[in-house]
Structure 1
């Protein structure tokens, strides 16, 4: 999917974020610091990571600045309410930056942290893929904890099967 203008990208990204927010809304506060294995991201780390990468890597590099991502630990936000606030605050800051992009800007190259040039609209698409990747990890974490999660597109697999016609 190519994005030629920022309003169409922002509308698409809004839907991505709505699905992420629906998932985050079912996380019990007592599980924010849970991980399946010591040394791996906790649920809170996943949320902080999405926020910090969006703002400190993607939003910075599309402005021609170097990446300033420095991790996703508790020093950024600790506790359920603080993690959610951080997540929302970084998203708001990022949207403000993204909203200034012109069609010309979207076709220009920016540099990834590895120093690889990439077309800005493709870099923004990579950002959505990154969020989806980490959202899937949170889905898995919650499923391991036997916490009911919302269907991504409104229906569960079982509901789709029950509504499907068999030929």
Structure 2
């Protein structure tokens, strides 16, 4: 089995599904959140759109320190901005994954906030965490869309909306 080829196929599939969800984000509801502790819709959507680039980050760096590189939300104002961000982010991640080698997978990658270690991972584990974060936050977006009465697309098969339920 060619693991990189399999990962690229999975990555593309998640990209296609994610694109369907982001295309439905209502820009007039960007400041909405279902709860006071929840991210605003705009923040959640832009975070989802940037996550594929974290695959690039996994293979081109040895880690990320939020103390020296604080998180900055990507600027988006429209669905076109979201989709452009997603496509650029995906292309960076896909390109780096395609160029990677299995030998790179076991190298260490550290996520930290100063001295506080948030994750001591391999580059492979960081790449997998990026995939998982895309899926996790996309599911969260699906809940937001449902609460806003927006029919949601299927992810791994048809949704209840697509089946007419």
TM-score in terms of structure 2 length? 0.76
Pick the aligned partner of 2:155 from 134, 141, 152: 152
In the other structure, the counterpart of 2:60 is 63
**Which residue in the other structure is 2:133 paired with?**
130
- Contact 2:51–2:134 at 8 Å: present in 1 too? no
Please give the alpha-carbon distance, in whole angstroms, between the structure 1 residues aligned to 2:39 and 2:128: 23
More helix by share: 1
Task: Give the Cα–Cα distance (whole angstroms) in 2 for the partners of residues 62 and 21 of structure 1.
Answer: 24
Partner of 2:46: 48
How many Å separate the matches in 1 of 2:61 and 2:80?
Answer: 32
* 1:75-133 per-position Cα deviation (integer Å, ceiling 9, x unaligned): x2233322221222122122222221012112x22313135432322222211111111
Q: Unaligned regions of 5+ residues in structure 1, if any? A: 163-167
Q: Does 1:87 align with 2:98?
A: no
Larger radius of gyration: 1
When the two chains are superposed, the root-mean-square deviation of aligned CA atoms in Å is 2.8
Which structure carries more strand by proportion?
2
